Amino acid sequence: MWYTSLWVIIMSEKNVPRATLQRYPVYLKALRKLKSSGVERIMSKELASVVNIEPTTIRRDFSFLGNLGKQGYGYDVNRLIEIFNQQLGMDFDEKIILVGAGNMGRALMKYNKWDYVVGEIACAFDVNPDRQGVRFGIPVYDIKDLDELVPEGCRIAILAISENIQQTVDRLIACGITGLVDFTHEHIQIPKGVVLKSVDVVSSIQELVFETNSLNTER
């Protein structure tokens, strides 16, 4: 696909800082919100006040993706969204698997805001037979068949189980998974080459308390 190769070229030549990569989803979210409220054009300074990131940081972040703006004018919101969608994976069409169809898993399957993400949940897995079958249009298989039923070329798994966590992770990695979104509250060990994104409420609250308190004492 055309965009995919363009992207690879941009990424490998310019070497985008990790910190920047982590801000891209923030920009995309904010831009979508702006668009929906009728904003068609935006300046880095304005956007800055929306996302709480310095204008110059924004401009530099954007610059890694090309000359997206126009001097004396700003950025075209639609164009930015288009670019970000491409860059952030719209055209990658990833097959994502969900491991664990309990409360959290179901919440994820039902949350139908997946229209602007990298790809879709292709299928899910669970140990519990009661949870197997088709849920919210997504087939839920027995986890023992994981190895056979992981879709061809699937790289990303969402982890929403509460038992045999490390063991399951090891199996997933053996199946070729290289990216994990982890909803678990436990520590997971991964080899080099695999990327883990933890979205743990507990850790988030801990960070929150920490930062809130530092803010209070420092300022």
Partner DNA sequence: TTAAGAAAGATAAAATATTCACAAATGTAT
Partner DNA sequence: ATACATTTGTGAATATTTTATCTTTCTTAA
Cβ proximity to DNA, 17 vs 133, nearer residue: 17
Minimum CB–partner distance for residue 62 and DNA (Å): 5
Cβ proximity to a second copy, 15 vs 71, nearer residue: 15
Spatial distance between the Cα atoms of 67 and 63, rounded to a whole number of angstroms: 6
Minimum CB–partner distance for residue 86 and DNA (Å): 16
Residue 12's binding partner out of DNA, a second copy, none, with CB under 5 to 8 Å set by partner kind: a second copy
Residue 29's binding partner out of a second copy, DNA, none, with CB under 5 to 8 Å set by partner kind: a second copy
The count of other CB atoms within 10 Å of the CB of residue 2 is: 8
Minimum CB–partner distance for residue 181 and a second copy (Å): 5
Residue 199's binding partner out of DNA, a second copy, none, with CB under 5 to 8 Å set by partner kind: a second copy
Minimum CB–partner distance for residue 147 and a second copy (Å): 21
Cβ proximity to a second copy, 148 vs 201, nearer residue: 201
Residue 69's binding partner out of a second copy, DNA, none, with CB under 5 to 8 Å set by partner kind: DNA
Residue 70's binding partner out of a second copy, DNA, none, with CB under 5 to 8 Å set by partner kind: DNA
User: 């696909």: which residue's tokens?
Assistant: 1
Cβ proximity to DNA, 67 vs 216, nearer residue: 67
Q: Is the distance from CB of 194 to CB of 173 less than 8 angstroms?
A: yes
Q: What angle do CA 196, 96, 140 make, to 5 degrees?
A: 115
Spatial distance between the Cα atoms of 161 and 101, rounded to a whole number of angstroms: 8
Report the candidate in 55, 73, 58, 52 with the shortest Cα–Cα distance to residue 24.
Answer: 58
Cβ proximity to a second copy, 84 vs 141, nearer residue: 84
Binding site for DNA (CB under 7 A): 17-20, 42-45, 53-57, 59-60, 62-63, 67-75
Spatial distance between the Cα atoms of 163 and 184, rounded to a whole number of angstroms: 9
Hey, which bits of 72-155 come out as E strands? Answer: 75-76, 94-99, 119-126, 133-135, 138-142
Spatial distance between the Cα atoms of 112 and 20, rounded to a whole number of angstroms: 27
